[in-house]
Amino acid sequence: MFDYSAAFDAAVTQVKDEGRYRVFADLKRVRGQFPKAIRRREDGSEQDVIVWCSNDYLGMGQHPAVLDAMQAEIEAVGAGAGGTRNISGTTRSAVDLEAELAEWHAKEAALLFTSGYVANEATLTTLQRILPGLIVFSDSLNHASMIAGIRNGGCERHIYAHNDLVHLEALLAAAPVDAPKLIAFESVYSMDGDIADLKGTIALAHKYGAMTYLDEVHAVGLYGARGAGVAERDGVQDQIDIIECTLGKAIGVMGGYIAASTAIVDAIRSWAAGFIFTTSLPPALTAGALASVRWLKTHPELREAHQERAATLKQRFAAAGIPVLPSVSHIVPVHVGDPVHCKMISDMLLENHGVYVQPINYPTVPKGTERLRFTPSPNHTDAMMDDLVKAMDRLWTHCNVARMPAAA
């Protein structure tokens, strides 16, 4: 008979052989002390750590306005939504949140999903059902959830070189003029910290009659005067057809959504299995996200502090000869260049220095570009940076990893 356990063992062995086996850090975040957390080791002992790789970019996951709203909502309406959106699960705070999100992105409507992953997967799959013959043009570094949605629909698809508008235009020009087309891309790419040329992409979309689908997961809350993302910053919100975001990163809670025209949202709402056949988000989550979005809209100083912290950390690494990759965003990637050192440095940072930063290895990034990805928040102090830079400097020497010429 079939040996099931050997098959599972082989699957894990393969991942280990490829250096992709993941060990999770067991963390207990401490309310009011972000980015501090308590790590539990495998032997059960505990260690205080500073989290340097959280996607809770602004610490909104612990913001009093968010926590108060969540607690009040639990007191008022209880735990779960109690159903799908269609069958008793359309809660008041979900409806209010969708209105708030639509207004934020200057769109007619918004639609919640249980995560950003589901929002991408469900929407991109469904667009292909609504638009038969759709041809999708997808940036080569798009997130796994976008790739999953594009593949699931089974449409013709073309991958263009990352942020390469010349390549994108060549692909668009080669497609039939009258075919429906969709350009799917992100604003901030989270591994390199570069930002797409929104205006240039939109110009091509107009020229070749394509729709635009923009993932602003790593930008929402962080860019633009009211924090709606890079499309707001660049003044092009009205020219992107579908904006997709998460409630789980800078907004600090959980969930995902799209914002678009009433017609698009109504069609996705009516056709997307990943929206229809699943229980709605718990009201405490949507109430917390609503409070977070309202706060973010009116507090640009948080975004300024965030950018200042990122710029300061980049400068401090560069001054120490630590090879920061050229990021134009809040992401601070440091080049290591091989998976063994990358893992070794992050293990030593954690065990010996209480610095938690996850190593980023293949297949998340190409081989030879293994890196540590730091995400400083407004709550990361100068003293924390002193400790971090000192520890990195020591480990760079200890592990004999290449430096870059110290900045003048």
Residues labelled as active-site residues = 249
Contact window for ligand PLP (CB under 6 A) among 21-29, 112-120, 228-236, 262-270: 112-120
Residues 220-249 that bind ligand PLP (CB under 6 A): 246, 248
Stretch of 113-121, 272-280, 380-388, 398-406 lying at the interface with ligand PLP (CB under 6 A): 113-121
CB of 294 to ligand PLP, least distance (A): 20
Q: In this complex, which beta carbon is closest to ligand PLP, that of residue 358 or of residue 396? A: 358
Q: Which CB, 145 or 169, lies closer to ligand PLP?
A: 145
Interaction between residue 115 and ligand PLP (CB under 6 A): yes
- Measured CA to CA in angstroms, residue 223 lies from 18, 330, 396, 406 at distances of 37, 10, 33, 30
Q: HSE on the CB side for 36, CA within 13 Å? A: 9
Exposed (0-12), middle (13-18) or buried (19+): which is 60, by Cβ within 10 Å?
A: buried
Q: Which is nearer to ligand PLP, 250 or 313 (CB)?
A: 250
Q: Tell me if 256 contacts ligand PLP by CB under 6 A.
A: yes
Total count of residues recorded for the chain? 408
The full DSSP string for 277-327 is TSBPPPHHHHHHHHHHHHHHHT-HHHHHHHHHHHHHHHHHHHHTT--B---
52, 104, 117, 317: residue in contact with ligand PLP (rule CB under 6 A): 117
Residues 67, 29 contacting (CB under 8 angstroms): no
Residue with the shortest CB distance to ligand PLP? 116
Residue 190 sits in the site that holds ligand PLP (CB under 6 A): yes
Distance CA 256, CA 113 (A): 5
Nearer to ligand PLP, 93 or 396 (CB): 93
Tokens 């929407």, residue located? 123
Our finding on whether 252 is near ligand PLP (CB under 6 A) is no
Residue found under tokens 């082989």: 10
Asked whether position 61 contacts ligand PLP by CB under 6 A, the answer is no
Residue type, 33: Q
Burial of 207 (0-12, 13-18, 19+ CB in 10 A): exposed
Q: Which is nearer to ligand PLP, 160 or 396 (CB)?
A: 160
Spatial separation of the C-alpha atoms in residues 315 and 407, rounded to whole Å: 8
Nearer to ligand PLP, 27 or 203 (CB): 27
CA quadruple 122, 163, 301, 64: dihedral sign: positive
- Which residue lies nearer to ligand PLP by CB, 215 or 241? 215
Query: Taking Cα atoms as reference points, which of 367, 349, 331, 333 lies closest to residue 20?
Result: 367
Q: How far is the CB of 389 from ligand PLP (least distance, A)?
A: 27
> Can residue 358 be called a binding residue for ligand PLP (CB under 6 A)?
no
With binding defined as CB under 6 A, does residue 160 bind ligand PLP? Answer: no
116 binds ligand PLP (CB under 6 A): yes
Among 54, 93, 145, 292, binds ligand PLP (CB under 6 A): 145
- By CB under 6 A, is residue 215 in contact with ligand PLP? yes
Q: Distances from the Cα of 356 to the Cαs of 3, 14, 311, 382, in angstroms?
A: 39, 27, 20, 17
Tell the smallest beta-carbon distance from residue 94 to ligand PLP (Å).
16
Pick the stretch among 65-73, 210-218, 300-308, 335-343 that binds ligand PLP (CB under 6 A): 210-218
The reply to whether 186 sits near ligand PLP by the rule CB under 6 A is: yes
Under the rule (CB under 6 A), what is the footprint of ligand PLP?
115-117, 120, 143, 145, 186, 190, 215, 217-218, 246, 248, 256
